[in-house]
Amino acid sequence: MIDLKIKEDPLGVFFYASVKPKARENAVLGTSAGRLKIAVTAAPEKGKANAALVALLADFFGIAKGRVVIKSGDTSHIKLLMLEGVTARQVFEKLSEKGVK
């Protein structure tokens, strides 16, 4: 079961993610405590990990990078993210399709 808390808004969806920088690979690892768990290979310096996170999510959800917005947590491993123009249903469908739990 996918344990992700999503808030749907007319602009898109909001959810929290727990991001692990300097990982072996870029990957959406699963969900836990209502958050999406994500790993990126980039170091958390000069915005590199955040840029890698945005690129990973854009590719994962099949949307433009400009539609992935870090709303808060720029310097934290816990981030509030927004996917513009995406519904909660689309997020859950994509996570299920890719085998994320």
Task: Give the pair of three-digit tokens for residue 49.
Answer: 């990990």
| Residue with token string 């969900």 | 31
| Residue with token string 């994500």 | 38
DSSP 100: -
pLDDT surpasses 80 at 66: yes
Instruction: Give me the CATH topology for the region 6-97.
Output: Conserved Hypothetical Protein Mth637; Chain: A; (3.30.1200)
16-44 pLDDT, tens per residue?
999 999 999 999 999 999 999 999 999 99
What are the two backbone dihedrals, phi and then psi, of residue 47, each rounded to the nearest 5 degrees? 80, 5
Q: What is the mean pLDDT of residues 70-86?
A: 97
Q: What is the mean pLDDT of residues 76-91?
A: 97
